Structure 1
């Protein structure tokens, strides 16, 4: 077989591998972030206290709900 055919096969395989790897990693990260959200209620409370806000339970619940609904949209 000619050398140019082997080069073409390698390039096509590389492109397919890159595209497949990108989408596979993306799906894995989406699943991971859905199962393990980056913020929980205690972390959000500490963040608000550091910013000088007094977090009420209602405000915490509202922010958690907003964050979870934004995660679901993506």
Structure 2
């Protein structure tokens, strides 16, 4: 009987540890991406120049605002 209880506790602890680790890693990555966005204005300007467009500051600001709006949208669901 004690062996069965020990096995059940080990399985429960393992599942709990995996779930807790997943949520901690998810929260860490969300905070990291919020503080360090993957694309900034310089990268956007460089991408537009590589595509053959001459980027104006107005167009860059519009694209950054749109990207920030899309990035912030999932946070508002919570």
Cα offsets for 1:46-72 (capped at 9, x unmatched): 011112222111110011001111111
Aligned CA-pair RMSD: 1.2
Give 2:8's aligned residue.
8
Gaps of 5+ in 1: none
Q: Which runs of 4+ in 1 moved over 6 A?
A: none
Give 2:60's aligned residue.
60
Cα offsets for 1:26-64 (capped at 9, x unmatched): 111111111111111011100111122221111100110
Gaps of 5+ in 2: none
2:35 is the alignment partner of 1:35: yes
How many aligned residue pairs are there? 74
Q: State the TM-score, normalizing by the size of structure 2.
A: 0.86
